[in-house]
Amino acid sequence: MRFIRVTFLLKKSTSLDCRPSPLFEDIGMERLDNKIAFITGAKGGLGTFVTKTFLAAGANVVGVSRSIASDFPGARFVAIAAELTSGDAARRVADAVLQRFQRIDILVHLVGGFAGGAPVAETDDATLERMLDQNLRSAFHILRAVIPAMRAAGSGRIVAIGSRAAVEPQPSIAAYSASKAALLSLVLSVAKENKDRGITANIILPGTMDTPANRAADPKADFSKWVDPQQVANLALWLASDAAAQVSGAAIPVYGAAL
């Protein structure tokens, strides 16, 4: 917004734990060697898993988050500290990536937020706007900024993280559910608008993920029924790979044991 801090991390490090999960051992890990992957929301619960997984697959990763620096040390990681809730900010971030790498092969949009606890009649404007900013507008702005470069290149992979609530809304989370439903519609529109240019766009719809933040928010829950974030990261990797070239416009549920 008011600033974009770009940190190029050029020193190699072996401290990053990018060991593949058991799923990779079973099916074979897709490779993203020499691909430029732009990951929004790269730091945090799911973001850490996705960023490590893409780095392990050989991608050059540009990670964007409000506060991010040397969280993922290594020569193939670039950090950009920024927010994406305005069109100008998103364009500046995308321009920074394109200036550094001349292309964006993959966009993985993980930015999002949750608010709930009140029915529609008691939900205030601030909560609604926050959900729209975090779950819809940020996606719209970064997609609008990145798609022209992908269209010019004649290829691209777009993966977004939605929510089960987008297709199965529940009481007292209407603003969240509606914003995620709008994100779903946005991604499916992008898939159809760009199918002529070798660009795929898909959205993953996970249930509650087993992250430290979610455990802290609901400490009495049965965590065994929650979704393993590494499984979501593995799916995002596959969708971003050449193996998924014919998969576009898909909304993929990942519900785990809570199916």
* Residue 249 C-alpha from the chain's centroid: 16
What's the pLDDT score for residue 27? 42
Q: What is the pLDDT of residue 258?
A: 85
Residues of the chain short of pLDDT 70, as ranges, are: 1-29, 70
Q: Considering the entire predicted model, what is its pTM? A: 0.88
Which parts of 57-105 fold into alpha helices (H)? 87-101
Residue 28: the pLDDT is 53
Q: Show Cβ contacts of residue 251 under 8 Å, excluding neighbours closer than 6 positions.
A: 162, 166, 167, 184, 187, 188, 202, 203, 205
Q: Whose CA is closest to 107, among 98, 115, 116?
A: 98
Residues in a beta bridge with 38: 62, 107
- How confident is the model at residue 23, as a pLDDT? 41
The predicted-structure confidence for 63-79, as pLDDT tens digits, reads as follows 998 888 767 878 899 99
Question: What are the domain boundaries of the chain?
Answer: 5-258
Dihedral in degrees, nearest 10, Cα atoms 133, 186, 213, 126? 20
The CATH number corresponding to 5-258 among 3.40.630.10, 3.30.1360.200, 3.40.50.720, 3.40.1390.10 equals 3.40.50.720
3-state secondary structure of 226: coil
Is-contact 204 235, C-beta < 8 A?
yes
Q: What is the pLDDT of residues 193-242, one digit of tens each?
A: 999 999 999 999 999 999 988 999 899 999 999 999 999 999 999 999 99
